[in-house]
Structure 1
């Protein structure tokens, strides 16, 4: 039995690697578009409050439709359709950002960009939660979020390279070029889902049984009986397919609701952790360019700093399974929240106190450490939430997680813009660091109760 399960896990992953490659394309485009959008806003004469509003717009549509998309993903026979829609929407939003003539055009395109990202992310996370055995959840989510980190590395670096040190009218022209490049890269992810993977049985509906299992702080593999018996069949084909009618054998009656999901032990703390971690990424991406502009630092340098942060997250996720086995999820989660909150408050200070090379070097060190801590959190929150709900609820639970993230992505940039008005753009970053520390305290309290 164990050997058969191992064979399934090794052979049943072509769909995962296609998903990973597509995620690299979409997230590279997305993470080129978002920081470059800040430079376009600055070229329009926008202030920190306007940057906060445009950043919040990115999450407005996802906040309204996250639950509906999660339920749709639970019922869909072929998740690759939703993946393709997400990638194509990201590309179209990039075109909208390039063509936007003013602040309101940027806000509208940012909202569409957020919907595309939500659709792709829900479909990808649902595929991993549905077809990965409990022992493979950390690996699947780890690779998926590592792909996002690769995009977070490539996108800002490429954007900074294109915008470079251009100023005046030349700056706006370089920004426009970068936005078109970002749109093309994001849209390229659609091509991977045009047809099923080679050898896919198109008309096959695979029944899957997924047991949530208890949280595994020790990192031990769950019992063989908890494995998804049909994961190999589903994954070795091209289409990621749902069970007939979207049902999962042995699932509890009744559809999942936000209230039911949030009442599951461990879910609220994991939701707050996910919200604070993603808010940190958003605020860094939107406001570190504003910090750099205020201090006279070239966009190429800021893009490199953001890319270095992402590289540290990639390194972290490459060793995440080992860390889970050695340390356990609870301690890793607390380390990530407290560690990132402490270290990421320091780069703006370093850049301001030591102008030029010394400040950039010190900021790089703290971004590496903070990026490593940030990289721990997102896959762990996905695993903890997936294992805290019944198997049939996983797509919806991950959608609730994304809805919480989007709520944070609406509120936090708005608050950040208000804080940045008196305190400067660095104040927005410090406020989000404080949220990370609060989230760490909440996770510690939850762990103590459990």
Structure 2
């Protein structure tokens, strides 16, 4: 529900800004305002989750995001949009870090890959239901071809957030027990010590590369669609197919990992994404179906595995902090790498863009393949090295 609200807001705020007379430069600034809180405060949010529990941080994040949405709903003006989007971005950051920290803490001694697979599958389901629910309801009673009713769309997003909040009351006792257990085992250590964990930089690099690939796909698939004369409706269906495949790919992760090993699954899945990205510039809408299936597998599987890889390298008391660090690195990559890809590959058109992205993933595969920590941190009974 939180993810459905988030992607719904990300979609509807663009229409809101256009209705207020925004230009493309402002839309770029608006997108940056969402990402800025995560860049600055993700590590702090992770530390807070370690200290007070992931559910408390996630619940606070839901309330924060709802406050930003309500502000956007009741007040008008482009400056209000910037402030409200930053508040919503902060709330979403807290929700994500809180959820991930809770999963990391509760899956200690079990399969964290399976637990993170379930969490990310739920997020993908939210990405499936959020945009159509928001846009369809916002378009009710609106003339064909006219802009959607953004206020109605924001109300839908608030409803999603409201539906998500009761989970806190069911999970807080479990989180309190987990927090006591962490206190009895070990106290938190400095982040500089966490950064020295063997292999941690490799897991962070791979995580950033995969997340940036998802962002670049959403940003540049319209370029491919324009060149291939593919309609916007078809693009929406293709992206929905990718999200659906990602959901399905995450449901049986523990069995795949038990049979083939996490390192092998990471390499194979990212190789599928590389092949799909390399093929996309040459296919039409029907060929893109196979490409989106490949991207659904290639981008769906690595995300929960990199989360599990990160937490396997750190002590239980520092799982929230290292997940916050992971998000900080991801946001840095989301800001820097698209600019680099756009600058160096854009002159070659859609071929250069997607091939540059494929090359980025090839580099990530090399990082995984050359990593001793890739296997050591992936053992089925991995404990807490620190």
- TM tier relative to shorter chain: 0.7 to 0.9
SS state of the match for residue 110, structure 2? helix
Q: Find the partner of 1:276 among 196, 199, 209.
A: 209
Deviation by residue 1:368-398 (Cα, 9 ceiling, x = unmatched): 1111111111111111111111222222112
Alpha-carbon distance change, 152 to 449 in structure 1, aligned in 2, over 3 angstroms: closer
Aligned partners of 2:104 and 2:311 also within 8 Å = yes
- Structure 2 match to 1:4: none
Secondary structure of 1:321's partner?
helix
2:57·2:94 contact (CA, 8 Å) conserved in 1? Answer: yes
Residue 256 of structure 1 corresponds to 190
Distance 1:449 1:274, change over 3 A: closer
2:103 to 128, 135, 152: 128
Question: Aligned match of 1:142 in 114, 117, 121?
Answer: 117
Distance 2:345 2:28 in 1: 9
Q: Are 1:119 and 2:94 counterparts?
A: yes
* Alpha-carbon offset, residue 247 of structure 1: 2.4
Does structure 1 residue 28 correspond to structure 2 residue 30?
Answer: no
Check conservation: 2:346, 2:353, Cα contact below 8 A.
Answer: no
In the alignment, is the contact (CA less than 8 A) between 1:150 and 1:311 conserved in 2?
A: yes
SS of equivalent residue, structure 2 residue 367: helix
- In the other structure, the counterpart of 1:9 is none
What RMSD over aligned residues (CA atoms) do the two structures have, in Å? 3.6
Q: Which whole-Å CA distance do the structure 2 matches of 1:97 and 1:290 have between them?
A: 30
* Aligned partners of 1:29 and 1:185 also within 8 Å: yes
Q: How many angstroms apart in 1 are the aligned matches of 2:244 and 2:16?
A: 25
Q: Distance in 2 between matches of 1:95 and 1:296?
A: 39
Distance, in Å, in 2 between the alignment partners of 1:431 and 1:86 is: 35
User: 1:143 Cα deviation (Å)?
Assistant: 0.8
* Count of aligned pairs between the two proteins: 374
What CA distance in whole angstroms lies between the structure 1 residues aligned with 2:271 and 2:213? 13
Residues of 1 paired with 2:245 and 2:81: CA distance? 30
Following TM superposition, by how much is the alpha carbon of 1:161 offset from its aligned partner in structure 2, in angstroms?
4.5
1:407 aligned onto 2:344: no
> Is 2:137 aligned against 1:156?
no
On the 8 A contact 2:55/2:102 being kept in 1, the answer is no
Task: Please give the per-residue CA displacement for 1:62-102, whole angstroms capped at 9, x wherever unaligned.
Answer: 111111111111111x5332221222233344445667867
Query: What is the DSSP-based 3-state SS (H/G/I as helix, E as strand, rest coil) of the residue aligned with 2:179?
Result: coil
For normalisation by structure 1, the TM-score amounts to: 0.71
Alpha carbons of 1:294 and 1:173: their partners in 2 closer, same or farther (altered >3 Å)?
farther
Query: 1:110 aligned to 2:75?
Result: no
Structure 1 residues 184 and 31: CA distance shift in structure 2, 3 A: same
Assess, with a 3 A threshold, how the Cα gap between structure 1 residues 254 and 173 changes in structure 2: closer, same or farther: closer
Partner of residue 396, structure 1: 321
- Report the Cα distance in structure 1 between the residues aligned to 2:49 and 2:96, rounded to whole angstroms: 11
Mapped contact 1:52–1:416 kept (Cα < 8 A): no
Distance 1:269 1:121, change over 3 A: same
Q: 1:162 to 1:441 in 2, by over 3 A?
A: farther
Q: 2: distance between equivalents of 1:342 and 1:442?
A: 18
1:335 aligns with 2:268: yes
Query: Does residue 1:382 correspond to 2:307, yes or no?
Result: yes
Q: Deviations over 1:113-133 (max 9, x none)?
A: 322221111111111221223
The unaligned stretches of length 5 or more in structure 1 are: 1-24, 203-233, 351-358
CA distance in structure 2 between the aligned counterparts of 1:82 and 1:387, rounded to whole angstroms: 22
The counterpart of 1:265, out of the listed 179, 187, 198, is 198
Q: Distance in 2 between matches of 1:190 and 1:418?
A: 42
Greater alpha carbon shift after TM alignment, 397-406 vs 181-190: 181-190
Q: TM-score, normalised by structure 2?
A: 0.81
Structure-2 residue corresponding to 1:243 = 180
Distance, in Å, in 2 between the alignment partners of 1:444 and 1:412 is 22
2:382 aligns to what? none
1:66 and 2:42 are equivalent in the alignment: yes
Say which structure is richer in helix. 2
Pick aligned residue for 2:244 from 311, 317, 324: 311
Alpha-carbon distance in structure 1 between the residues aligned to 2:251 and 2:154 = 30
